[in-house]
Amino acid sequence: KKPEVCNVLGDSITLRLTAEQTDGKYSVAEFATPGGVGQPPHTHAWDETYLVLEGELNLNINGQPTVVGTGGCYQVKAGVVHAPTPNGDFCRYVMVGQPGGVESVFKSLKANQKDLSDMGKVVEIVTKEGVNIVVDSRAVLAFRRAADLLMAALPSIPTPYQQWHQNFSTFI
């Protein structure tokens, strides 16, 4: 059987092994992630082990840079805040989730592709699948100030950005 690919939020995620295939013991997903794309700080009830195949991955453990280079491996225990993001132009890595089932997050995002421009909907989707988005109020305030300044300085920014800004501002 050919593995399912979930192209969501800028990531290309290939579901190499699912919980169904491993009797629930683990899941394996391969990510191909361009620079500038990444996951927000979050936690969940399963462990994740990352193996970097190409480039560098910053896991941002508890808000601190934690860079894993090509060939490197790092385990994130359940409940630890992390935010995997390429450290450069591109990163390809494998993530093993234990116990299995993490693929439900990616499948749900793929099934709701039409709603992914609304950050509130994204949070709702991943929360239903057991992911808890962690919001740092200082970072949110800094982002809002910067976005508000940008919107005031450049009133002719294309409408999609204005809509995204409005959605994100409403969400936070």
pLDDT tens sequence for the chain (172 residues): 899 999 999 999 999 999 999 999 999 999 999 998 989 999 999 999 999 999 999 999 998 999 999 999 999 999 999 999 999 999 999 999 999 999 999 999 999 999 998 988 999 999 999 999 997 655 555 555 655 666 666 655 554 444 554 555 555 4
Gap between the Cα atoms of 128 and 63, Å rounded: 24
Query: Which among 83, 76, 85 is positioned nearest to 10, based on CA atoms?
Result: 85
pLDDT at 161 (0 to 100): 47
Beta bridge partners of 92: 32, 54
Helices (H) and strands (E) in the chain, counts: 4, 9
pLDDT at 93 (0 to 100): 98
Residues 6 or more apart in contact with residue 75 via CB below 8 angstroms: 47, 48, 49, 50
pLDDT at 135 (0 to 100): 79
Whether the Cβ atoms of residue 107 and residue 100 lie closer than 8 Å to each other: no
Whether the Cβ atoms of residue 100 and residue 26 lie closer than 8 Å to each other: yes
Give the angle 140-158-164 at the CA atoms, nearest 5°: 30
pLDDT at 152 (0 to 100): 64
Gap between the Cα atoms of 96 and 31, Å rounded: 11
Q: Note if the pTM is more than 0.85.
A: no
Gap between the Cα atoms of 109 and 10, Å rounded: 12
